[in-house]
Structure 1
């Protein structure tokens, strides 16, 4: 079994047993916490309960036989023992009494068992250190190490098969040479699904979403926060207020995206300096007119001149589309050229920073090496498309199966386009730099985040190999 499923298998081994509920996995800290209080309280409660019921029944029989004095000797301690059981259950239910028993922690990042101040590295443990102690009603598994002697789990005697399976699974986790898959526990992702999430990890992580699952974080509060944030991001900046608009945004990213603009800007940046300067002057002029809301003549003429210069040899064809697009005539944006120009005009009119960002892109693309790489920025669009699918699932617009089916082909395209996680991340950062129109603190944050994803053992980039066979591996 692959390591991503080992912890799930450990939990399945205790389902429906006395040990169920004694384990808690902290995904953030990569710690499996084992609470020994349930088995202790169960043992005490069962012993006291059986003793109390026996004495109460004995007292009742003696009382019916007319031996009142003898009955009191049985009824009083029986009632006391039974009351103690009720008190224990009440304390367990309504007070933090269970916290009095320090938990045994299996720390995967540190690769050690820890109890209070005692720490035993996994490398010092042997199979013989896991010892069973069997009684009339219970089977208890203990760690019997020279430095640590502690109960790990308890089962009823009839749960012998589950107990043996639990011991085997626990030892697999402790003895494994590497445990990266364990650290994505909770998501239940297959290797291919982890790869897909990894491809969209930068955009997800920078917005505060977990990268070990398709949907929201565990816990009611965290899940509600994720859903709220996902909806806000879909609406702004993506303008997706319903499923149709979401799928429209995804389709645009997949079919054209910002890489179409990058290609156009790269073509502009390769032109003679005089043409570049003419375009820059027209762009500043038109942007200034829009900012001052001066849309009367000669605005349209200057806009047409800008479009003609922007598209070079194809400029006349694009320039002819400007008037019908401004009049919002039906069908004006149906052609490929009309749709492309409509996107440009939308950003020009609605994004006050677009002109400055485009001028910065032209300056950045003056570097021939970066200009030659402009065809490799697919990840900037596809990485965000993957995250849009995730957000659509979080807000309830898309099913899990729908998302995986649509995300897998995108992952295949990404894998074919790049050679490694590092290669993909480098192109993502370059795409982000061009899109933003500048570096600054935001770009520094992306640089830091990419470095963290590359270094973090729990990152999908360090769990699944780049060359993984991306064929469907989920039911």
Structure 2
């Protein structure tokens, strides 16, 4: 990941609605060394394709749309929210037993050890009532990545502008419905990413979120939370295969 900095595009987006939607992906624009307010003038297409293949298993338009559809319909938030809800409902006497079971799995090693380690952290985070953990929709992490994938689809020519911006608009509307400010969205991005990772260890994204909150050039400082017309239309669809929605289908 490059040195982090907030900087603008040579040709920034003109529409407030597009700038607002694009700002939802700001953690990844900054983290990946791209402009904050529009697509980069030039990209290393081979490098971008390699990163998508390595991190997402995406190598063409079809697999990109499949990943975007997954983020829209479910992402990581559905499975993890159910797990956190279960951890919150466990009777106190059963918590110690669950901890020991998870520790035993960790000691045994193997394929299940890493997930057990993450679940132990999640269980302890719920029991310690980590701020926001019992009320979070865990949307922010999935939403920011949805914008990132739409951005990459545009850069690589795998998405048409109208379909990419329609998708990003739907993400933006759900984000605005779910949070009260950029600060709240940023805090939930950190929380939901930590819950996905299964640890609270600081990393570069903590610095990115902090920078977005304080840098005068950040769209999180220049765009009001209620800026633009983000009226809620019917779900966006790419043919019959893609829709961003918080509803399970």
- Partners of 2:6 and 2:218 within 8 A in 1: no
Give the root-mean-square deviation of aligned CA atoms: 2.7
**Matching residue of 2:200:** 439
**Matching residue of 1:371:** 133
Alpha-carbon distance in 1 for matches of 2:60, 2:107: 34
**From 166, 180, 197, the counterpart of 1:405:** 166
Give the total of aligned pairs. 225
2:80 matches 1:262: yes
Give the deviation of 1:224 after TM superposition. Answer: 3.3
**Matching residue of 2:43:** 224
Q: Deviations over 1:186-206 (max 9, x none)?
A: 224311111011111012222
- Partners of 1:240 and 1:246 within 8 A in 2: yes
> Which of structures 1 and 2 has the larger relative contact order (alpha carbons within 8 angstroms, sep 6+)?
2
Q: Name the TM-score, length of structure 2 as normaliser.
A: 0.78
Q: How does 1:14-413 map to 2 (within 5 A)?
A: 185-213=10-38, 215=39, 217-218=40-41, 223-225=42-44, 227-270=45-88, 271-283=90-102, 291=110, 353-368=114-129, 369-375=131-137, 377-413=138-174
Give the deviation of 1:286 after TM superposition. Answer: 5.6
**Matching residue of 2:217:** 458
* 5+ residue gaps, structure 1: 1-27, 31-182, 293-347
Give the deviation of 1:281 after TM superposition. Answer: 4.6
Give the deviation of 1:29 after TM superposition. Answer: 10
Q: 1:198 to 1:449 in 2, by over 3 A?
A: same
Give the deviation of 1:279 after TM superposition. Answer: 3.9
Q: 1:283 to 1:188 in 2, by over 3 A?
A: same
- Partners of 1:204 and 1:211 within 8 A in 2: yes
Give the deviation of 1:393 after TM superposition. Answer: 1.5
Q: Deviations over 1:378-421 (max 9, x none)?
A: 11111111111111111221122210011101101101111111
Q: Deviations over 1:151-183 (max 9, x none)?
A: xxxxxxxxxxxxxxxxxxxxxxxxxxxxxxxx6
Give the deviation of 1:291 after TM superposition. Answer: 1.8
Alpha-carbon distance in 1 for matches of 2:147, 2:6: 27
**From 202, 205, 208, the counterpart of 1:449:** 208
Alpha-carbon distance in 1 for matches of 2:167, 2:194: 27
Give the deviation of 1:240 after TM superposition. Answer: 1.4
Greater strand fraction, Structure 1 or Structure 2: 1
Larger Rg: 1
Q: 1:207 to 1:274 in 2, by over 3 A?
A: farther
Give the deviation of 1:471 after TM superposition. Answer: 4.2
- Partners of 2:61 and 2:158 within 8 A in 1: yes
Alpha-carbon distance in 2 for matches of 1:367, 1:189: 45
Alpha-carbon distance in 2 for matches of 1:459, 1:370: 24
